[in-house]
Amino acid sequence: MPNILIVEDDLEIAMLEQDYLEIEGFQTQTVSDGEGAVSAALTRTFDLILLDLMLPGCNGYDVCRRIRDQVDVPILMVTARTDSVDKIRGLGLWADDYIAKPFDLAELVARVKAHLNRYARLTGGAGKKADDDALTVGDLQIFPRSWKVYKAGRELKMPNREFMLLKFLAENPNIVFSKEHLFETIWGYDYVGDSATVTVHIGRIREKIEDDPTHPKIIETVWGAGYRLNA
């Protein structure tokens, strides 16, 4: 039974989310502040986190930043703020989706199910290669099934969307893909967002795999066309 962490300081909204999710068969735990969210996420095992942006103490951005390197499960930001800058900032901090208040609870449950199903498919052995058969690009090694990335023998922390994007490009080297194609492939048609998300994630990946992220050699921008992984 999937276990969901609900981080919400509005008690009424938190109870509604909890009721709808538990009716659908999920287990839930609710916390109402940022520090409690960090503590819960780092000490218990959850399958997905519903994270409100505006929280007492530290906000949702801070929570996401503090837990992301250690907690690799879908994070769905829930917030009354709808500015595209806020959305891009949240996705840049490795949130997986973004839903604005007020929202339909049935839609929220559907989003939760969609992310859990996608994550299960991607981590459940659907990769093309065996566990010990790495995709190799220079000093970079990508293990599709064990969900690990190494550069020069050092493991890199890759949240799930970053890993999915890097793996897809490595499985299709020397081919230019548009931002729109990458967005549809990695995030899917049911994801509420746009191709700007791809740019944010490419930047995050470059910071980890490139010797000089300001002059990338592995993932190259082909102006007016998209991105290409050089192998």
The type of residue at 62 is: D
Instruction: Read off the CATH number of the domain in which 109 is found.
Output: 3.40.50.2300
Q: Output the tens digit of pLDDT for each of the chain's 231 residues.
A: 789 999 999 899 999 999 999 998 999 999 999 999 999 999 888 999 999 988 888 888 888 888 877 887 888 888 776 555 455 554 555 677 888 888 888 888 888 988 888 777 766 544 333 344 788 898 899 988 778 899 988 889 888 889 989 999 998 999 999 998 898 888 875 555 567 889 999 999 999 999 999 999 999 999 989 999 998
- Picking from 11, 33, 122, the residue whose alpha carbon sits closest to that of residue 74 is 122
In whole angstroms, give the CA distance from residue 163 to residue 158. Answer: 5
Those residues whose C-beta lies under 8 Å from the C-beta of residue 184, and which sit 6 or more positions away, are none
The pTM assigned to this predicted structure is 0.58
User: What is the chain's Cα-based Rg?
Assistant: 18
Q: Check whether residue 111 and residue 212 sit in a common domain.
A: no
Q: Check whether residue 157 and residue 220 sit in a common domain.
A: yes
Element (H, E) at 150: strand 148-151
Domain-embedded: residue 129: no
Structurally, how many domains does the chain consist of? Answer: 2
Is the CB of residue 231 less than 8 Å from the CB of residue 170?
yes
Domain boundary among 103, 123, 143: 123
**Sheet with 140-143, side-by-side order of all strands:** 135-137, 140-143, 148-151, 154-156
Whole domain around residue 39: which residue ranges? 3-123
